[in-house]
């Protein structure tokens, strides 16, 4: 705790004074009003937060709930590029409440105070312009506390279990100091940092030591481990704790996402906290998630998003998958002085790639969140909130034409596709997708190489009656562009 406060005080002095170093022939991105950004990131604006230790937020519909070490704030984000402060309650020094738990109906939030007191505090936020404390449960101030079972109960990272069915009168089922805490019930030793409810009654646990755990908490007082990661290295050997995790699409996604933390390293090394992917394929039988890949930042040039040295640590922190993540996709993640990264998770392999970055001037990013598919809020310990837009460069425009849009069943149609501007893309592949009548999504049905003139023809035998749609997609050739996509064409078979 003391180290973190000292680190934050040092940050304003040392990080702002960092200068870029290295070879002049390295390609770099440009400066913005708030920091250095890669080509696919646009700097939209900044929301000051009293230059205070803003640590985490939760975004629900048109509201944002933000906490720091000394206040709680609510914002109207109906216009997400210009958040409007609705209320800010001064609470004095309270540490730390990184993970902001909000009830599903947005009538109350939790604040887990582990220092200087030891309380789970409940705040009424039904009136967003009038935040009020309505309860404080002594002994339940775990490092983080998360809602489970529609926030009728809460699990604390240190082992506490709380009954919140009456939020104004919370009751301890078990405190972390008691022998029947949930850590003891599942045999978790070494402590935990956070839990995430994947779906109603099932949580993903981020332990300080050992692998990630998937736990059934439908009976909150009697949790049961149902699966775990296959990496069983002790923290001392791997070098970091598991900090937080997500299993997208309520546990239906193939890829489980984790993030590790290791603080106060002035230089990056192989044991710093990574972002990681696990393959969940077959977990119901194996009861195991298989570690696939990790991504870590490095020191280097600040204008490439890699500061030459660190204060709070060369480590990952809070992250969130992009809306639409489906067996792969994009993730936005905070990396302290390294700022915000957008990482890609490959749909076939789970491998991680670096796509975009934003490195704030003199800042240290605690958490990064998607507001929608393109806007990002980056919550900074020393600065406030940076508002970013993810805007990857567009791929080439793709044309698609059909020789007969009203064929008979059994007839073969020709679908000619081409790139509007070839730019040397001859010889690359383009893929054909079809959505049959009554289907809810497109499926890939063919792939061909483009000619030197960047065109090709697909031949498709019509095996259906009714309306079907076709489109072609040219897969991007690098991480600086999006795919090229044609407009769908409708074919009505007789």
Q: CA-CA distances (angstroms) from residue 68 to 85, 90, 131?
A: 15, 10, 14
Q: What is the reported pLDDT for 8?
A: 45
Q: What is the reported pLDDT for 29?
A: 56
* Buried b / exposed e along 27-52 (16+ C-beta atoms within 10 A): eebeebebbbbbebbebbebbebeee
Nearest Cα neighbor of 278 from 167, 189, 204 is: 204
Q: What is the reported pLDDT for 396?
A: 81
Count Cα neighbours of 462 within 13 Å in the Cβ-side half-sphere.
Answer: 27
The one-character DSSP state at 410 is T
How far apart are alpha carbons 170 and 166 in whole angstroms? 6
Q: How far apart are the first and last CA of the chain?
A: 72
Instruction: Name residue, tokens 């990080």.
Output: 15
Which stretch of DSSP H or E encloses residue 112?
A: strand 108-115
Q: What is the reported pLDDT for 392?
A: 81
Residue 164 φ/ψ, nearest 5 degrees: -115, 20
3-class SS of residue 12 = helix
Q: What is the reported pLDDT for 51?
A: 53
Nearest Cα neighbor of 220 from 188, 177, 174 is: 174
Q: What is the reported pLDDT for 1?
A: 43
In the chain (494 residues long), the average pLDDT of successive 10-residue segments reads 44 37 37 91 88 82 94 96 96 91 98 96 98 98 97 98 98 97 96 97 97 98 98 86 98 98 91 96 98 96 90 93 96 97 95 94 94 96 92 84 95 94 84 94 94 94 95 81 87 95
Q: What is the reported pLDDT for 30?
A: 72
Ordered domains of the chain (ranges, CATH)? 2-390 (2.130.10.10), 398-493 (2.60.40.10)
Q: CA-CA distances (angstroms) from residue 437 to 225, 368, 407, 434, 466?
A: 43, 40, 15, 10, 6
Count Cα neighbours of 44 within 13 Å in the Cβ-side half-sphere.
Answer: 21
Which stretch of DSSP H or E encloses residue 6?
A: helix 2-14
């Amino acid at each position: 705790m003391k180290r973190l406060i000292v680190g934050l005080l040092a940050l304003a002095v040392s990080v702002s004074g960092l200068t870029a170093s290295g070879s002049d022939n390295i390609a770099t991105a440009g400066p913005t009003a708030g920091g250095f950004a890669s080509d696919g990131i646009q700097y939209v604006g900044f929301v000051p937060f009293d230059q205070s230790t803003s640590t985490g937020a939760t975004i629900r519909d048109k509201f944002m709930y933000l906490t720091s070490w000394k206040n709680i704030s609510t914002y109207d984000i109906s216009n997400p590029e210009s958040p409007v402060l609705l209320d800010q309650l001064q609470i004095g020094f309270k540490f730390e409440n990184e993970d902001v738990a909000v009830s599903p109906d947005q009538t109350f939030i939790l604040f887990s105070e582990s220092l200087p007191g030891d309380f789970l505090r409940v705040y009424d936020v039904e009136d967003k312009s009038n935040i009020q404390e309505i309860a404080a449960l002594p002994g339940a101030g775990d490092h983080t506390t998360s809602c489970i079972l529609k926030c009728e109960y809460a699990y604390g990272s240190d082992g506490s279990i709380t009954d919140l069915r009456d939020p104004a009168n919370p009751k301890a089922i078990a405190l972390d100091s008691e022998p029947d805490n949930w850590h003891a019930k599942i045999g978790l030793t070494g402590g935990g940092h956070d839990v995430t409810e994947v779906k109603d009654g099932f949580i993903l646990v981020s332990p300080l030591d050992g692998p990630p755990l998937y736990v059934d908490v439908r009976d909150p007082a009697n949790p049961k481990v149902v699966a775990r990661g296959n990496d069983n290295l002790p923290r001392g050997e791997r070098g970091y704790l598991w900090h937080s995790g997500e299993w997208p699409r309520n546990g239906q996604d193939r890829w489980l996402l984790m993030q590790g933390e290791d603080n106060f390293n002035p230089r990056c090394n192989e044991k710093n906290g990574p972002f990681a992917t696990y393959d969940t394929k077959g977990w119901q039988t194996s009861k195991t998630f298989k570690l696939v890949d990790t991504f870590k930042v490095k020191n280097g040039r600040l204008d490439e998003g890699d500061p030459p040295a660190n204060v709070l640590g060369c480590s990952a922190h809070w992250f969130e998958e992009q809306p639409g993540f489906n067996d792969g996709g994009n993730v936005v993640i905070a990396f302290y002085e390294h700022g915000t990264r957008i990482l890609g998770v490959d749909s076939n392999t789970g491998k991680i790639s670096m796509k975009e970055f934003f490195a704030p001037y003199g800042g240290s990013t605690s958490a990064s969140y998607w507001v929608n598919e393109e806007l990002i809020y980056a919550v900074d310990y020393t600065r406030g909130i940076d508002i970013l837009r993810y805007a990857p460069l567009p791929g080439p425009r793709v044309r698609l034409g059909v020789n007969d849009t009203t064929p008979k069943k059994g007839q073969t149609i020709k679908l000619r596709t081409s790139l509007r501007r070839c730019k040397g893309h001859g010889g690359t592949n383009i893929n054909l997708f079809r959505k049959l009548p009554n289907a809810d999504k497109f499926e890939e049905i063919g792939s061909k190489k483009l000619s030197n003139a960047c065109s090709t023809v697909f031949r498709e035998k019509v095996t259906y009656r009714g309306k079907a749609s076709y489109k072609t997609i040219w897969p991007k050739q690098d991480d600086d562009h999006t795919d090229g996509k044609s407009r769908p064409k409708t074919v009505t078979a007789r």
